[in-house]
Chains A and B, each alone.
Chain A
Amino acid sequence: MTSGTLIRQARMRAGLSQLALSERSGKDRAQIARWERDVVQPSLETLRELLQACGFDLELSLVPFSPPDPRRDARLQKALERTPQERLQAMLRARRR
């Protein structure tokens, strides 16, 4: 999840256009578009203000972090390239082994 995805998701769930969010939050519409596309990242405070303008709040918590594992990433990347049907078949085959 990126800040851009979060802003876009909150805006869509609130049924707002970028212009409407701009008016509600007092932020520039073009800047909102850049944030949503993750071209630039807003500060945490700005992100929270934007989400609040959509009627949501940001809840942050500390969660375990595991550094990227290239082998695992390769496996997951391959899974993402498969269709859901292929993913299910692969899991059922692995269960039988």
Chain B
Amino acid sequence: MATKFDPYAVLQALERQRVIYVVVGGLGRVLQGSDELTDGIDIVPLLREDNLRLLERALEDIKARRPDGKPVVLVQDLARGPVLELATAAGELKLVPEPAGTRGYDDLRRHAKREPIGQGLRPSVASLDDHARMLSALSREQDQEPLLTIRRLIELEHGLDRGRSLER
């Protein structure tokens, strides 16, 4: 399995199948302005049956496998734990049905925005506030630095917004 990280390939596969999801985690934070590096994609899929079928097809397209090398049996595998980690031909993909501190897709989609990232892709990305909420709820040592960055981005963005509204 190739380990090259190609977020475009993963997101294109999801787009081709019209999977409904929100991007969270490191990539979501980078798209919102964080200066961290990441080598995987975390998504929160809509857990509706038809959407999971589409997601299963997208996973086949990118040759997703469980860490033990076995093929994915989506509904069963999602039920095994809070995060389903997969290796794909384009890098790591994590499926997180209900990230810490949230109630899953329906909760995150309200403040998520479609962000143009090139190659015709406009994935839905969780908001900065929701990213802060998820990192806070995890309370892990390794999340402290990204959390401080997200909080600072929120403050800076607020300053920017204020500046813009004054200019109008």
CB under 8 Å from chain A, chain B span 92-140 = 110, 115-118, 125, 129, 132, 136
Measured as residues with beta carbon below 8 angstroms from the partner, the interface class of chain B is 35 or more
Interface size grouping (class) on chain A: 20 to 34
B129 touches A1 (CB 8 A): yes
Known: A63-B136, A85-B116, A88-B117. A79 touches B35 (CB 8 A): yes
Contact of A84 with B158 in the complex, beta carbons under 8 Å = no
Secondary structure type dominating chain A contacts: helix
Q: Which residues of B contact A84 (CB under 8 A)?
A: 31-32, 115-117, 125
Chain B 1-43, CB within 8 Å of chain A: the 1/0 string?
0000101000000000000000000010011111111110000
Asked whether, in the complex, the Cβ of B118 is within 8 Å of the Cβ of A85, the reply is yes
14 A-B pairs in the complex with CB atoms less than 8 angstroms apart: A1-B151, A63-B136, A63-B147, A76-B149, A77-B156, A79-B34, A80-B153, A80-B160, A84-B31, A84-B117, A88-B30, A92-B7, A95-B37, A95-B39
